[in-house]
Chains A and B, each alone.
Chain A
Amino acid sequence: MPYREKKHPFDIVISSAMDLQTKLANDGFARKHTSPATQDLPDWAVWNDMVYAFTQEPAGFVISNALFEGLPIPQNRQQLITALRQNPDRFKGRVGTYDIRKSGAGYLFATQDARASDTYWRLTEVMGTLEPTLYCCASEMIDDVVNGDLAVAYNVLASYAEKSPHKDKFTIILPNDFSIVMLRTMLIPETSDNPVLAAEFLDFVLAQTYPSGVSPLLKTQSLGQAEQSTLYRISMGPGLLVYLDYFKKKNFIAEWENAIVQN
């Protein structure tokens, strides 16, 4: 892995880990920014004039068409649990999800998933019986579904799956019980050497995104097709910091490890 050779401060920080972005802002690492572009944003799109959402990206299942052949495609978590339980030989070693110890976005999805429903833990335990593969990144999960190593990738960003040139090999499901919607956010760090240009860039991106809430440059098809009442948009704000508390995180990860790592 290459390393950064010289130290130059960054001017814009973009991350899918909303909790970590909120922590940076809360801890004094972000600049406040207001402008005409920020004035009429929906409440859910901005926190403290520091953290700005510019996408809405749902997470769902990516199902291998080949490896699910002959089985109904699960439309929600309960149906996925049933499919996995009833076909252990088919799915052993062919289930994937984020390693939440390594992925900030994966940890965020897991905690929000667990907050929304108890089904998350049952599903995690069932996946744990099937020798799951754990990943740092959505792109690697999608690649392994495409190459036949995975039958199902859980909690994958639909936006990444939609950009795959091999979409004929899988089906993207936004679960109809609820779909976590991540807001990718942008902030201007306090240490930026170029805050005026950074602000111009931020305003440009916001102008592309709002008032519709979806940038035509990054439009996620799945979001538009999903039943709106099933979309669970993660809320920005200090509530996200709860699961970053040292002991809370330690306990959550320990519980997750007990469920997912059973061998």
Chain B
Amino acid sequence: MRHVILSIVMWLLANVAHTFEIEDRAVFGDEIDSAPLRIVSTADISYFKPIIDAFRAFRPDVTIDYTVASSTEVMDAISREKTPF
């Protein structure tokens, strides 16, 4: 039983301790939009901005929240999104 409790505690600590480290972030559109399109990407903002601008010209009602992170951080973030906080 002690081992089970210890395992649970260790798992909780591992998940609480993990934080998602971002390199950059920008919001295109209404900053207080409650339902933006959230993009996480390894591509620098400057690289991807032409696509964001083109999409927003097509859909000016859409806010895009664009976060840049490393490829391993991106993978970890998505893998962990299925686990509850």
Contacts and interface: CB of A to CB of B under 8 A. Distances in A.
A20 B40 contact: no
Contacts, number: 124
Interface residues of A, number: 46
A133 to B, nearest CB: 18
A194 B38 contact: yes
Contacts of A104: 42, 70-72, 75
A66 interface: no
Interface residues of B, number: 37
Interface string B22-39: 110100000000010111
B65 to A, nearest CB: 8
A10 interface: yes
A189 B80 CA distance: 11
Nearest to A217: B50
B47 A3 contact: no
Interface SS of A by simple majority: loop
A7 B15 CA distance: 13
Contacts of B46: 163
B71 A1 contact: no
A10 B54 contact: no
A217 B62 CA distance: 19
A33 B54 CA distance: 22
A141 to B, nearest CB: 13
A211 to B, nearest CB: 18
Given A14-B41, A14-B42, A197-B37, A4 B51 contact: no
B85 A20 contact: no
A11 interface: yes
Interface of B: 19-23, 25, 35, 37-44, 46-48, 50-51, 54-55, 58-59, 62, 67, 70-72, 74-75, 77-79, 81-82, 85
Across the A-B interface, the 10 shortest Cβ-Cβ residue pairs? A104-B71, A17-B71, A14-B41, A217-B50, A4-B20, A12-B39, A20-B75, A191-B81, A10-B40, A3-B19
